[in-house]
Amino acid sequence: MAKAPVLTPQAEDFPRWYQDVLNKAELADNGPVRGTMVIRPYGYGLWERMQAEMDLRIKACGAENAYFPLFIPESYLTREAEHVEGFSPELAVVTHGGGKELEEPIVVRPTSETVIGEFMGKWVQSYRDLPLLLNSWNNVVRWELRPRIFLRTTEFLWQEGHTAHATREDAAAYASRILHEAYADFMTNVLAIPLYLGIKPSYDRFAGAINTLACEAMMRDGKALQMGTSHELGQNFARAFDIQYLDDQGQQQLCWTTSWGSSTRMVGGLIMCHGDDRGLRVPPRLAHIQSVVLCIRDEEGAGEAAARINEELVAAGVRSRLDAQVATPFGRRSTDWELKGVPVRLEVGPRDVAEGQAVLVRRDTGEKQPVPLTDVVATVQRVLAELQDSLLAEATAMRDERTADATSIDEVLEAAATGFARVPWSVVAGEDAAAELGTKAVTVRCIQRADGTVPADEGEDDLYAICGRSY
RNA sequence: CGGGCUGUGGCGCAGCUUGGUUAGCGCGCUUGACUGGGGGUCAAGAGGUCGGGAGUUCAAAUCUCCCCAGCCCGACCA
């Protein structure tokens, strides 16, 4: 019985391969409107876990969840000049409501700085109200020219955080705290995706920001994906929305605000970073199904043994599921679970029951090992922990191997053809250099210090730019 | 908006260059039997305005013209 090749994640086929994983692993379909997306239950399970883990970290940073409207008066957007300019080409605008043309068009939020700014202005009166730390899980619409499922959909699901602070230093520290303690921690330790952290070049900031911090990850084809951003908005939005406070000297002061976001794009990043030619590989800490107990045939006590093993795993806190669909051939079921990336599979058949064991299969390596029935729970827990670490180690090794040091624009272009280039910032600073890199679709992904930490601004000495092609 | 490409059963494709009986293949689907430790096997079936329109011809999936839709690359971007 020959095994058919399932997927081939080679560079030139990468978009196709990505789409195949999405389809075959039952993650998402394209929506009815171009650029929209339907997330299937399995894909949503992954997203829910991402949301839960991210939400924990955001709350640990002190922010609280709130809810704001989908509709924004067009006039709000126009209050911050750079913000409108940046977003107006991609707005969806509602011109009619209740069967009548509206006096003022309403935009569907592309992001919520403006509405939230409006309410922060009402809520903040005194220095005692600061910092005001808000987060919102919602969906936003940006009419992008080239949508791509999970990575850049017209409508997308994300969290956006918005905070107001008394001083520039507080705001900057908080934007950085979110980048490190929420985003980088989650992406590195849960998604097992290693990151380059840094600031964006000034010409590539969020519309209306005075500084943009970013997490950049490398996908298996060597291209970059921006996994999350955190912005210092200075006093731009505070001025536009009158977010002021009375300080302890009785003086009116303008607040300093931040905003930060991460989206369902992370699901795309997960696929493109950890996927292999058998489908998705989900890191155990993320997986909503960490192990599946696959009953091969319901004979000679195998069905009962499989159910019992599953119960033991669940009781021990493992997110485990029983697959007793014995009417479906074994090969089909094992392949399906592999496509979906379930980290550990336990095969239980009559032969195993006779020998008092189960066969444990690791998704990352495909390695199979017999495990005594008495030892299943402990072994699964150990393997899950190992697998989490080895996915991160593998992704980190790939990224490092494909990140080359460069000293000139030519060297950057050469390195970026297959991965990233790390080059002194002075070599690629400025828009002229950016234009030259752009001829080969290469961009500065982020700017960091020599030791990889995040600089305060691009004027510091001894900075390096991470350059690459991106999604 | 530029540059390329593709439209053929539910899905993926071949056939088109060089027009020729009844348009094929894989997957999926239906029924039955056998199976079952890696997308099983065998048998029997269902399923098609060949994107649309016009033209050339004895004859068009195939050639010509027009239209429509979608995809990819670039510009925009979480």
pLDDT tens-digit map of A317-365 = 999 999 998 888 898 899 999 999 999 999 999 999 999 999 999 999 9
When computed from its CA atoms, the radius of gyration of chain A, rounded to whole angstroms, is 25
How confident is the model at residue A171, as a pLDDT? Answer: 98
Specify the range with the lowest mean pLDDT, choosing from A235-244, A349-358, A432-441.
A432-441
Nearest Cα neighbor of A339 from A396, A271, A430 is A271
Protein-to-nucleotide distance from the CA of A34 to the C1' of B49, whole angstroms: 27
Contact (Cβ atoms closer than 8 angstroms) between residue A302 and residue A350: yes
Q: Which token pair is A83? A: 């913000």
Would you say residue A403 has pLDDT above 50? yes
- How high is the pLDDT of residue A264? 95
Q: Which nucleotide is nearest to A110 (CA to C1')?
A: B78
Strand B contacts in A 341-400 (CB under 7 A): 347-352, 359, 361, 366, 368
Q: Residue A366, Cβ neighbours under 10 Å: how many? A: 10
The torsion of the CA quartet A364, A368, A369, A371, rounded to 10 degrees, works out to: 80
Picking from A229, A62, A114, A256, the residue whose alpha carbon sits closest to that of residue A172 is A256
**A167-198 per-position pLDDT tens digit:** 999 999 999 999 999 999 999 999 999 999 99
Closest nucleotide relative to residue A262's CA, C1' based? B78
Instruction: Locate the DSSP E strands across A298-407.
Output: 320-323, 344-348, 357-362, 368-372, 403-405
Question: Cα(A239)–Cα(A381) distance, rounded to whole angstroms?
Answer: 53
> What are the tens digits of pLDDT across the range A85-109?
889 888 999 998 999 999 999 999 9
Q: Are strands A442-449 and A463-469 parallel, antiparallel or unpaired?
A: antiparallel
User: How much is the mean pLDDT over chain A?
Assistant: 93
- What pLDDT score was predicted for residue A344? 98
Nucleotide nearest to A149 (CA to C1'): B78
Residue type, A397: A
ipTM of the complex: 0.81
Residue percentage of chain A with pLDDT more than 70? 97
Task: Find, among A222, A243, A219, A220, the residue nearest to A233 by Cα.
Answer: A243
Ramachandran area for residue A464 (φ above 0: left; ψ -120 to 50: alpha; else beta): beta
DSSP assignment string, A181-195: IIIIHHHHHTS----
Q: Which nucleotide has the least CA–C1' distance to A86?
A: B76
The size of chain A, in residues, is 471
DSSP 3-state assignment of A286?
coil
Average pLDDT score over residue span A42-46: 93
Q: Which residue has the tokens 């369902």?
A: A264
The pLDDT score that the predictor gives to residue A8 is: 62
Rounded Cα distance between A281 and A297, Å, is: 26
Does strand B come within 7 Å of the CB of A257? no
The share of chain A scoring above pLDDT 90, in percent, equals 78
C-alpha pair distances (Å), A309 with each of A278, A295, A344, A352, A398? 26, 10, 13, 13, 36
Q: Is the CB of A153 under 7 A from strand B?
A: yes
User: CA A390 → C1' B30, Å?
Assistant: 46
Q: What is the pLDDT of residues A191-235, one digit of tens each?
A: 999 999 999 999 999 999 999 999 999 998 899 999 999 999 999
Query: Do A444 and A406 meet the contact criterion of CB atoms below 8 Å apart?
Result: no
The pLDDT of residue A7 is: 64
State, as a whole number of angstroms, the distance between the CA of A178 and the C1' of B72. Answer: 37
Longest dimension (CA), chain A: 81
For residues A137 and A289, what is the distance between their CA atoms, to the nearest angstrom? 23
Preceding amide of A284 cis, omega within 30: no
Give me the A residues in range 178-237 that sit within 7 A (CB) of strand B: 206, 226-229
Residue A384, CA distances (Å) to A40, A58, A360, A361 in order: 25, 25, 11, 11
> Is the CB atom of residue A448 positioned under 7 angstroms from any atom of strand B?
no
Instruction: Please tell me the predicted confidence (pLDDT) of residue A384.
Output: 98
State the pLDDT at residue A19: 80
Residues 11-50 of A with CB within 7 A of strand B: 15, 24, 30, 34
A12 pLDDT tier (thresholds 50, 70, 90): low
Pairwise CA distance, residues A343 & A364, whole Å: 7
Using the CB atom, is residue A268 less than 7 Å from strand B? Answer: no
Asked if residue A2 has pLDDT above 60, the reply is no
Strands, E assignment, A270-325: 291-295, 320-323
User: Which strand B bases fall within 7 angstroms of a protein CB?
Assistant: 1, 35-40, 70-78
What local confidence, expressed as pLDDT, does residue A409 receive? 92
Q: How far apart are CA A180 and CA A77, in angstroms?
A: 30
- Residue A297, CA: closest nucleotide via C1'? B36
Our measurement of CA A144 to C1' B4, in angstroms, reads 21
Output the CA torsion sign for A35, A39, A43, A44. Answer: positive
> When comparing pLDDT for A382 and A325, which is higher?
A382
Using CA atoms of A412, A413, A414, A419 in order, give the dihedral in degrees to the nearest 10.
80
Q: What is the DSSP letter of A279?
A: B
CA A303/CA A297 separation, integer angstroms:
7
Find the helix or strand (DSSP H, E) in which A60 lies. Answer: helix A41-60
Q: Which nucleotide is nearest to A227 (CA to C1')?
A: B78
Closest nucleotide to A212: CA versus each C1'? B78
pLDDT score for A11:
65
C-alpha A324: how far from chain center: 33
Burial (Cβ within 10 Å: 0-12, 13-18, ≥19) of residue A117: buried
Mean pLDDT of A291-312: 94
Question: How far: A4 CA to B48 C1' (Å)?
Answer: 29
**Chain segment A246-292, per-residue pLDDT in tens:** 999 999 999 999 999 999 999 999 999 999 888 899 999 999 999 99
